[in-house]
A = this chain, B = another copy of it.
Amino acid sequence: MKITIKDIARMAGVSTATVSMVLNNKDEHISALTKEKILSLAKEYNYIPNTMARSLVTKKTKTIGLIIPDIANPFFPEIARGAEDKANEAGYNIIFCNTDDNIEKEQKYIDMLSEKMVDGIIFTASSDRNNSLDKLQRQSIPIILLDRDIPFKGDVGRIVVNNKQGTYEGTKYLIEKGYKLIAFINGNIANETAKHRLAGFKMALQEYELEIKAERMLEGSFKREWGYGAASWLLNQEIPFDAVVCGNDLIAIGAIRALKDGGKSIPEDVAVLGFDDIYMSKLVEPELSTISQPKYEMGYRASELLISMIEKEKNMDRIIVFDTKLVIRKST
């Protein structure tokens, strides 16, 4: 049997307005006595405010939506954790949604979230063929585009990492270490991220006047199985290579396995460089060198930016660009 401000008002012999004010600390002109009375009554009867009722009038729900492809993909848990931590600090809750990069699911979730009147959305968009964003904008729900920087001209916040710079530096490092025949196993190139990573790779080769050979640049998906398949293919085709930079760590982990199965030793015969720095990159053997993204912080800052947009703070940058960090372990 839930108790409401009405009940408390009756018991305290005051109006609901008074109770509401006290309970929301807008109590400048409330006498200490009634304040006391209300507070103790609230405690005694274990009063729990009904935020739905509040939200209905204030138009704020203190909840934000987090739309990602898949929480079970090792790249996302840390991001989600960062986002949740900041949200929680600021008194917000997070509703999380897994889209599997499927546009219909994205649309459906976006609809659900806007029905739930979330105050804002953090969105890892699968692609830009997506009118959901326009829909959201029309409702003027603040949006943060996270990780995947799709072209969208609306007023959104962006959290991106400098992918091109990342592979550029990683590849450069390899070149300066003396590797000359460097392959690139990419994820799905429909993805902006994949494009930028490839661009950084090429840029480094160009700068050092190394040949950019198509047969050494493979494109597939951001999965371990693809990394395994691609590296095996390179081996089977007897395409010469002494290093391979990978679109992400999962690909790299698959590639390492294929290389080892093919009798290569790492990094002596072939160096392998990953991207992301997921938890398990420290656990494979040899430990994976990788281009690290600050995942936790990306999530954290995404929430932070979103909340500042929600609360209409001025003068903050709408775009935060993170630099990657080259982490050298044992595979290069």
**A residues lining the B interface (CB < 8 Å):** 2, 46, 48-53, 55-56, 61, 63, 70-72, 74, 76-78, 80-81, 84-85, 88, 93-98, 111-117, 135, 138-139, 253, 279-280, 283-285, 296
Contact = CB atoms under 8 A, between A and B. Distances in A.
Contacts of A63: 95, 116
B98 A96 contact: no
Contact of A284 (B80, B93, B284): B284
A84 B71 contact: yes
Nearest to A50: B117
A71 B66 CA distance: 14
A275 to B, nearest CB: 17
Contacts of A97: 84, 88, 93
A317 to B, nearest CB: 27
Contacts of A112: 93
A95 B98 contact: no
B117 A52 contact: yes
A80 B71 CA distance: 8
A98 B117 contact: no
Given A52-B52, A52-B56, A2 B139 contact: yes
Contact of A71 (B71, B113, B117): B71
Contact of A116 (B72, B88, B93): B93
A98 B115 contact: no
A11 to B, nearest CB: 19
A279 B117 CA distance: 35
A288 to B, nearest CB: 10
Going nearest first, the 10 A-B pairs with the smallest beta carbon separation are A280-B280, A285-B285, A72-B81, A72-B77, A93-B95, A51-B115, A71-B77, A52-B55, A52-B52, A77-B77
Contact of A280 (B85, B113, B283): B283
A117 B51 CA distance: 8
24 contacts: A46-B138, A48-B111, A48-B114, A48-B139, A51-B115, A51-B117, A52-B56, A53-B56, A71-B71, A71-B77, A71-B81, A71-B84, A80-B96, A84-B96, A84-B97, A84-B98, A93-B95, A93-B97, A93-B116, A94-B96, A95-B96, A280-B280, A283-B283, A284-B284
A251 to B, nearest CB: 13
A264 to B, nearest CB: 15
Contacts of A138: 46
A116 B95 CA distance: 12
A81 B93 contact: no
A50 B114 CA distance: 8
Given A71-B77, A81-B70, A81-B98, A48 B283 contact: no
Given A2-B139, A48-B139, A253-B283, 12 more contacts: A50-B115, A51-B117, A56-B56, A63-B95, A70-B81, A71-B71, A72-B81, A74-B77, A81-B98, A84-B97, A95-B96, A96-B96
A109 to B, nearest CB: 8
A55 to B, nearest CB: 5
B85 A98 contact: yes
